[in-house]
């Protein structure tokens, strides 16, 4: 028909056609689509059990490794002070075995008390000298009556008691390894002198 408008051909615009026309346009369209999806639906974040997975990996490694123990692993302390966790029990053992007592008064809420077993009390010389004592650990929360009876008001407190029940030395608060070494060494010397004196009196 004369004068009629030519029929227009509509071609749907797709990401493929955009990509064909503009190579970089497809990337931009994809990014925009992903961004819109994130805004509409949101991203779900799942909390992974990190410690559990680590334990599984460690177990798998330990079960499959044939190289033996890890050479870089920290060795555990081979010797530790053997404590009796009862003052009455320690007192009886000291009397039966004729040994002096090394009493450590601690409190769970005291930072120095928590550090002591891993620092000063873990020293090899201190551990060795502790073998000459009956070592007793007194917890202030469980054995408050014992702390009051012994006049302990500060923590940690280390008390050395002779075989006849007399207090030899006492140290309270933060203490260094050299200080405790000296304390134990002097107490052992004093005990040895007392024993030699008792022997001379007997003969």
- Is the confidence at residue 63, as pLDDT, over 50? no
**How far is it, in rounded angstroms, from Cα 64 to Cα 55?**
14
pLDDT reported for residue 39: 39
Q: For residue 142, which phi and psi values (nearest 5 degrees)?
A: -90, -35
**What are the residues facing 157 on neighbouring strands?**
105, 172
pLDDT tier for residue 157 given thresholds of 50, 70 and 90: very high
116 compared with 6, residue with greater pLDDT: 116
pLDDT tier for residue 203 given thresholds of 50, 70 and 90: low
User: pTM of the predicted model, to two decimals?
Assistant: 0.60
User: 55-69, 115-129, 147-161, 182-196: lowest mean pLDDT where?
Assistant: 55-69
pLDDT reported for residue 164: 81
DSSP annotation of 138 reads E
Which two three-digit tokens encode residue 24?
């970089």
93 burial level (CB within 10 Å; 0-12, 13-18, 19+) = middle
| Sequence-ordered strand ranges (E) for the chain | 83-84, 101-106, 134-139, 157-161, 167-172
**157-161 and 101-106 strand pairing:** antiparallel
What residue segments make up the domains of the chain, in order of their start?
A: 12-43, 83-202
The residue-averaged pLDDT of 99-107 equals 96
Name the one residue in this structure whose structure tokens are 């140290």: 171
152 burial level (CB within 10 Å; 0-12, 13-18, 19+) = buried
146 compared with 79, residue with greater pLDDT: 146
Highest mean pLDDT among 26-35, 69-78, 115-124: 115-124
Which two three-digit tokens encode residue 13?
């615009």
% of the chain residues with pLDDT over 70 = 60
**What are the residues facing 104 on neighbouring strands?**
137, 158
Range 83-202: architecture per CATH = 3-Layer(aba) Sandwich (3.40)
85 compared with 67, residue with greater pLDDT: 85
pLDDT tier for residue 194 given thresholds of 50, 70 and 90: confident
- Is the confidence at residue 119, as pLDDT, over 70? yes
pLDDT tier for residue 195 given thresholds of 50, 70 and 90: confident
């Amino acid at each position: 028909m004369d004068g009629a408008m030519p029929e227009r051909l509509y071609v749907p615009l797709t990401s493929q056609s955009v990509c064909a026309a503009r190579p970089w346009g497809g990337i931009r369209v994809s990014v925009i689509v992903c961004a819109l999806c994130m805004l509409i639906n949101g991203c779900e974040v799942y909390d992974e059990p990190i410690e559990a997975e680590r334990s599984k990996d460690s177990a798998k490694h330990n079960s499959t490794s044939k190289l033996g123990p890890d050479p870089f692993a920290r060795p555990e302390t081979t010797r530790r002070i053997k404590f009796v966790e009862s003052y009455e029990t320690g007192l009886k053992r000291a009397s039966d075995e004729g040994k002096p007592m090394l009493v450590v008064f601690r409190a769970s809420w005291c930072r120095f008390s928590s550090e002591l077993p891993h620092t000063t009390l873990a020293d090899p010389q201190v551990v060795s000298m502790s073998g000459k004592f009956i070592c007793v650990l007194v917890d202030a929360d469980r054995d408050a009556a014992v702390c009051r009876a012994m006049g302990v008001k500060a923590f940690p407190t280390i008390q050395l008691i002779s075989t006849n029940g007399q207090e030899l030395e006492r140290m309270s608060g933060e203490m260094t390894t050299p200080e405790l070494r000296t304390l134990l060494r002097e107490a052992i010397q004093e005990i040895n002198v007392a024993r030699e004196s008792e022997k001379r009196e007997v003969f």
